[in-house]
Amino acid sequence: MLTRLIYASRVSPGIDARNVRDILAASHRNNKARGVSGALLFNSGYFLQWLEGGRSAVNERFRVIGGDPRHREAEILGYDVVAMRTFPDWTMGYAGEGSLNGELFFRYTDGGTFNPFTLTADAAVALIHDLSRASLSLTPA
């Protein structure tokens, strides 16, 4: 059974681009070994992550992620059974809030600041789909 889990969390103080590169490197390694795919979105205040795979593997990844001190207040926005993977070739796609992605990030939030905690699961899915179609930085890895 394939599942999709989407969560938002707050970035811990002091986390920077180097830390995000470390997260992505570990995600590529760990997700590939466990049959998990997905995407990570990052800005200076928040993470938004999409995980797909077998239910046990996705649950295990989320338990590990939940204990990572580089973020806090992880909140599940959506957890669904899916018929097929959306990003089957991605161990972890990535999009940061740069000039190419900023407009899309802000399209899905109120008040001019991207805050994934304000997204519904459907809006998070739409945002990630839009980024995968439009962004140069959300690429398979």
Residues 64, 20, 4, 130: what is their CA dihedral angle, to the nearest 10 degrees?
Answer: 170
Rounded Cα gap, residues 76 and 55, in angstroms? 15
What's this model's pTM, rounded to 2 decimal places?
0.88
Task: Report the distance separating Cα 46 and Cα 43, nearest Å.
Answer: 5
> How many C-beta neighbours within 10 Å does residue 43 have?
19
Domain range holding 50? Answer: 2-134
- How confident is the prediction along the chain (141 residues), in pLDDT tens digits per residue? 999 999 999 999 999 888 888 999 888 888 889 999 989 988 878 999 999 999 999 999 999 999 999 999 999 999 999 999 988 888 888 888 765 566 777 788 766 677 899 899 999 999 888 888 776 555 554
Count of domains observed in the chain: 1
Would you give the DSSP letter of residue 12? P
Has residue 105 been placed in a domain?
yes
Q: What is the CATH number of the domain that holds 124?
A: 3.30.70.100
Q: Is residue 60 part of a domain?
A: yes
Residue 139 lies in a domain: no
Structural domain includes residue 140: no
Does 36 map to a domain? yes
The amino acid at residue 6 is I
